[in-house]
């Protein structure tokens, strides 16, 4: 399977969902607004064989598990069909149900290079780096703006990948001494104007700074949405070290 960043459209019997997924060196890391997805893959007999865990990170009851469990395992196998990868399998948490997914490569060629030349100026301990891994992110707008997003964010060696059922993020960061800063470009992989009127239909540039510890991070940010600037805040929780 080709390594890279993908959007995923999946179904369990008649129920459907979407997410993003990063595929690299035998690992698969991704998720959406309700669940983090992490696991492994290997090649055998011309097929890609995967074993993925779906792990709830959002307690909002509107985010329903298609497998009926807050933590569920998915075993699937698939192969390339044109420019996409098609998978089929099942879950021990829902015996007899059929899981299907289609993974389509996202345009991550413009991913900014990791900026490791400097760290936040006030950081006293340059050895204290942000833990690389898959995080949940819960973001909300300030100043009375009715806008919020939840999703996942993969932080690794100064690079940011992430997203949810509608958006994907590309960016970079620096971290040291419990402080971090960086920038993200938020883009649609699926039209989102109806579900997310503040962010949908726009390519959004976001600059941020914040603090972190071994379990997660916080940030404050300014998002440029068209000609409008919106202040944001977010909490990140480490779901899976990478």
Mean pLDDT, the chain cut into blocks of 10 residues (242 residues total): 96 97 97 98 97 97 93 98 96 97 84 43 54 96 87 95 96 95 95 86 94 97 91 97 90
Nearest-angstrom CA–CA distance, 5 and 21: 6
- Roughly how many angstroms between the first and final C-alpha of the chain, as a whole number? 19
pLDDT for the residue numbered 115: 44
pLDDT for the residue numbered 199: 87
pLDDT for the residue numbered 113: 47
Options 2.30.30.90, 2.40.50.100, 3.30.70.580, 2.40.128.380; CATH for 133-241 is 2.40.128.380
In this prediction the pTM is: 0.90
CATH 2.40.128.380 location in the chain: 4-105, 133-241
Options 2.30.42.10, 3.90.1150.10, 2.40.128.380, 3.30.43.10; CATH for 4-105 is 2.40.128.380
pLDDT for the residue numbered 4: 94
Q: Three-state DSSP class for 100?
A: strand
pLDDT for the residue numbered 109: 63
Q: In Å, what is the CA distance from 219 to each residue of 18, 75, 102, 177, 237? A: 26, 35, 33, 15, 12
pLDDT for the residue numbered 116: 39
Asked if residues 125 and 212 have their Cβ atoms less than 8 Å apart, the reply is no
């Amino acid at each position: 399977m080709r390594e890279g960043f993908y959007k995923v459209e999946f179904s369990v019997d008649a129920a459907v969902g979407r997410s993003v997924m990063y595929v690299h060196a035998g690992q698969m890391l991704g998720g959406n607004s309700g669940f983090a997805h992490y696991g492994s893959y290997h090649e055998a007999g011309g097929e890609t064989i995967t074993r993925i865990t779906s792990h709830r990170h959002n307690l909002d009851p509107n985010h329903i598990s298609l497998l009926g469990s807050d933590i569920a395992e998915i075993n699937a196998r698939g192969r390339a069909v044109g420019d996409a990868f098609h998978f089929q399998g099942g879950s021990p948490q829902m015996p007899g149900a059929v899981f299907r997914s289609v993974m389509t490569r996202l345009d991550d060629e413009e991913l900014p290079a990791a900026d490791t030349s400097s760290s936040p100026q006030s950081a006293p301990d340059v050895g204290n780096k942000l833990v690389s891994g898959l995080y949940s992110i819960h973001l909300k707008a300030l100043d009375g703006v009715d806008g919020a997003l939840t999703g996942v964010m993969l932080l690794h060696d100064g690079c940011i990948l992430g997203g949810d059922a509608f958006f994907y993020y590309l960016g970079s960061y620096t971290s040291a001494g419990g402080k971090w800063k960086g920038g993200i470009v938020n883009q649609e992989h699926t039209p989102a104007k109806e579900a997310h009127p503040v962010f949908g239909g726009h390519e959004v540039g976001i600059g941020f700074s914040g603090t972190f510890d071994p379990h997660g991070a916080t940030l404050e940010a300014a998002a440029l949405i068209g000609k409008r600037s919106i202040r944001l805040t977010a909490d990140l929780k480490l779901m899976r070290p990478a």
